[in-house]
């Protein structure tokens, strides 16, 4: 196979630049565990109907829920507020625990973005792992 760039950058430099991109470019991901899918109504939100295609959750929705649970109080317009209005809208520790067990929020490399940047001179075989 004839390389299209024989002098610079070297294969090692191309790989290093790509790996730097993967370390720099991150995206926030939110996934649900199986119990959330089985639960038709997670604390007033129709999660199973909205995300039937899989366990991935809209990140903005997930971050809004996380902010609410981290704050410990339902907003007055939340469907669950009426049942705890006497307590000032406080979310029970059990409900907060259930949220944290059900939703996982983390960051991962933005592979799509980094693959769009032309780091490599030629087509290249690259071993990568997929999340399951």
The span from the CA of 74 to the CA of 80, in Å, is 7
The 10s digit of each residue's pLDDT in 52-107 is: 444 566 788 888 888 988 999 988 888 778 888 888 889 889 888 888 887 888 89
Task: Find how far residue 82's CA is from the centre of its chain.
Answer: 30
CA-based Rg of the chain, rounded to a whole angstrom? 22
Mean pLDDT, range 16-28, rounded to an integer: 91
Alpha helix ranges (H) inside the chain = 11-24, 34-38, 47-50, 59-71, 93-102, 111-116
Provide the token pair at 114: 């980094």
Where in the chain does DSSP place strands (E)? 26-32, 103-109
């Amino acid at each position: 196979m004839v390389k299209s760039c024989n002098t610079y950058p070297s294969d090692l430099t191309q790989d290093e630049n790509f790996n730097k991109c993967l370390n720099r470019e991150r995206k926030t991901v939110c996934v649900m565990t199986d119990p959330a899918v089985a639960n038709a109504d997670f604390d007033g939100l129709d999660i199973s109907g909205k995300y039937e295609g899989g366990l991935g959750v809209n990140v903005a929705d997930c971050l809004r829920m996380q902010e609410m649970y981290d704050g410990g109080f339902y907003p007055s317009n939340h469907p669950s507020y009426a049942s705890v209005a006497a307590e000032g809208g406080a979310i029970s520790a059990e409900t907060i625990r259930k949220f944290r067990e059900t939703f996982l929020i983390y960051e991962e490399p933005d592979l799509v973005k980094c693959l769009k940047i032309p780091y490599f001179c030629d087509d290249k075989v690259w071993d990568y792992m997929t999340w399951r």
